[in-house]
Structure 1
Amino acid sequence: MSRARLNGVESHRTLVDLTWREKRIEHRIRFGHIVETHILDRYRRVVGFDSGSIFCYVRWAANEHGTVISRIDIVRAVPDGEAYQTLPFVRPGGDILLRISGWPQVQRVLAAIDAIEMLDLDPAEIAPEHWRHLNHRISVNEPFRVYSRDQHRAWLKRRS
């Protein structure tokens, strides 16, 4: 199993490269519990997540003709020794719960995240199955179930 490396040092965390150049390239974390941050320069930084934590990674880029890429990924950081899927700018990779591209679909995911936050719930703490459900339904342009407090209570009971 390969581990993520930062400045030649092995890390047991999942590392995500972020870049922010206004209106050109915007890679950002929408939600998740960042446990370490390394500023590389004015435009770039690397953030780390502990294994088991869930985070949302938004990537957008444009050129003089308009948007080139619009993508949102919701990922669970995996512990050492567990299988993972690779993802650009995420080292070593993670358990991809949701992977959507195209601005209209990305907007639907962002609206679903906003709805979860309106319930005063942390999107990083909700049932991973909900993100998979959202991924499947949005990717085929179908309506999806809205996450509820009852669903969250059931998830917390299953988890404990």
Structure 2
Amino acid sequence: MKPAAIARVGGLSSAAPPDDMTHVELTFVEKKIENWIRFGRHARERIIDRRHRVLSFAPDSLFAFVRWASNDYGTIISRIDVVRAVAHGSVFQTLPFVRPGGDILLRIEGWPKVERVLQHIDAIETRDIDPVDVSPDHWRHVHSRLSVGHEPRAYTPEHHRAYLARRRTQP
């Protein structure tokens, strides 16, 4: 038996050689399962079939991964994660459908809170800021505030300029 066939998990082979990318398996089965990327710049895309594809992200890139599923009785999961892709050999947190995993900056469950995150992303985009370029600290702030039922601070152009200046001065 081939090694890749032994360790096949969720459409991705964990026995494949490392390639320094973070791979996200997306599934779309109408009214049943929807895994999609809300924002992020993928480096590669592999189409498996009409319902499945895999997007690959370069190390240090950010993406928002939305998972929604339902059964005959209603929604069973509604979740959004903002994740920073990791390089091979880096420390990471595991996440379903993400191989090997990533640095999870925001993890929110339940439709009302997920909807608030999506609205927050929309508000950032209305300020002509790409959510991919937002400070990772801001996504942690949004996670912390929403987790305890508080409203997160808006991410303003002033915050963004300060983050970009700080990033340029750091080694």
Structure 2 counterpart of 1:101, from 87, 91, 109 = 109
Read off the aligned partner of 1:156 and give its amino acid letter: L
- Residue 100 of structure 1, CA deviation: 0.3
Which stretches of structure 1, 4 residues or more, deviate above 4 A after TM superposition? 4-7
Cα distance in 2, alignment partners of residues 5 and 63 from structure 1: 28
Q: Secondary structure at the match of 1:11?
A: coil
Cα distance in 2, alignment partners of residues 11 and 44 from structure 1: 21
**Mapping of 1:1-160 within 5 angstroms?**
5=13, 8-160=16-168
Larger radius of gyration: 2
Read off the aligned partner of 2:61 and give its amino acid letter: S
- Segments of 5+ residues of structure 1 without an aligned counterpart are none
Q: Secondary structure at the match of 2:139?
A: helix
Cα distance, 1:18–1:59 mapped onto 2, change above 3 Å: same
Deviations 1:125-157 (A, max 9, x none): 010000000000001101210100000000000
Cα distance in 2, alignment partners of residues 5 and 116 from structure 1: 36
- Segments of 5+ residues of structure 2 without an aligned counterpart are 1-11
- Residue 12 of structure 1, CA deviation: 1.5
- Residue 5 of structure 1, CA deviation: 4.6
The count of aligned residue pairs is: 157
